[in-house]
Amino acid sequence: MCESFVIAVEPSARIKAVMATDPARLPQYLAALGLVTRRAVLVLVGGAGGLDARIGDALMRLFTALGGELDARGIAVIDGGTDAGVMARMGLARSRRQARFPLIGIAARGTVHWPGVPARADSAALEPHHSHLLLVPGECWGDESAWIRDSATALAAGAPTMTLAAGGGRITDQDIALSLAAGRRTLLLADTGGATDHWARNPHHQGLADGVAEVLTLSAALANPTQVLATLDSSA
């Protein structure tokens, strides 16, 4: 039996969490978190600590604009759960909009810390505005990638899913590759730098060639945020 517990990231910020051990038990972990399945899922991957501040500000505006639609449609968002880069911007945008959509962080246990838990030198703090957290086995960055991919599939349970990528480095490159290999519609936000731009500017990458991946510039997404979720609709 899976049991959830609460992590007090800040005095006013508490995240419902589950410690996972076996990918085959993902439906049980999601149930222990109180998450309703058969819902659309957006997977967010991208830059963390190295995200350019200007890009981060633009993504913050985009995520804030998307918040109302995510709420209205009951779309769940899955990301890496740490207080950095795209994940921090999504958490803050959810808080500022007072949105209620599930924002689920999935992090390798050895890479994160929170109050009362010893912090490894290279570990990251949890983002305080996430609603749920799945802590998975692993000591290295990237150990969570397959869990993120599979959790989205389990949570959607046949409903549409998509991956949204912005910036990032080696781990984002891995996340994009896993998303495409799973046949998940993947939207690459061009002009955000790093791995995402590398994929977006190389039409010979598998995924771009077969139409599983799409490219949208950050400026175009800001001008019309509904274009982002159009990728989710096209996966139905």
pLDDT at position 209, please? Answer: 64
- Average pLDDT on 199-206 reads 80
pLDDT at position 203, please? Answer: 67
Question: DSSP assignment, residue 70?
Answer: H
How many other C-beta atoms lie within 10 A of the C-beta of residue 228?
22
Q: Is 5 helix (H, G, I), strand (E, B) or coil?
A: strand
Q: Is 206 helix (H, G, I), strand (E, B) or coil?
A: coil
Q: Please provide residue 106's backbone torsions phi and psi, each rounded to the nearest 5 degrees.
A: -125, 115
Task: Note the Cα 57 to chain centre separation in Å.
Answer: 17
20 vs 3: CA distance, rounded Å: 10
pLDDT tens, position by position, 116-127: 888 888 899 999
- Please state which of the four CATH numbers 3.30.70.60, 3.50.50.60, 1.10.357.10, 3.40.50.450 is assigned to the domain occupying 5-234: 3.40.50.450
pLDDT at position 236, please? Answer: 72
pLDDT tens, position by position, 183-200: 999 999 999 999 999 999
Predicted confidence band at 1 (pLDDT cuts at 50, 70, 90)? low
Token pair belonging to 173: 């490159």
Question: CB neighbours of 26 closer than 8 A, spacing ≥ 6?
Answer: 20, 150, 151, 154
pLDDT tens, position by position, 136-183: 999 999 999 999 999 999 999 999 999 999 999 999 999 999 999 999
Domains of the chain, residue spans: 5-234
pLDDT tens, position by position, 83-112: 999 999 999 999 999 999 999 999 999 999
Helix axes 53-73, 226-234, angle to 10 degrees: 60
Name the residue with higher pLDDT: 64 or 50: 64
